[in-house]
Amino acid sequence: MDSYIKPVDVHAPKRLWTLVHVLFDGGEATATNPSPSSLAIGRWDNEPVLAMRWNGNEENPIGNPQSRGLPTWFIVPEQHWKQILQTEPYKFSDDKITFALNFLESKRVYFFTHCPNPACRDYKKLVLCSYRTNELGEVLDKIERNEWSTLHFYHIICSFDWEPSQQDKSDLTATLKAAWENYRLRSDERR
Within the chain, strands assigned E span 17-25, 37-44, 47-54, 66-67, 70-71, 74-76, 108-114, 126-132, 153-155, 160-162
3-state helix, strand, coil in the chain (%, to 5): 30, 30, 40
Model confidence pLDDT, tens digit, residues 52-92? 999 988 888 899 999 999 999 999 999 999 999 999 888 99
Rounded to an integer, the average pLDDT of 46-50 is 88
- Give the other-Cβ count within 10 Å of 29's Cβ: 22
> For residue 75, what pLDDT is reported?
96
pLDDT, greater one: 114 or 182:
114
The closest of 57, 56, 53 to 19, measured between CA atoms, is: 53
At 83-108, the pLDDT tens digits run 999 998 889 999 999 999 988 987 78
Rg for the chain, CA atoms, rounded: 18
For the cut 70, the answer to whether the pLDDT of residue 156 exceeds it is yes
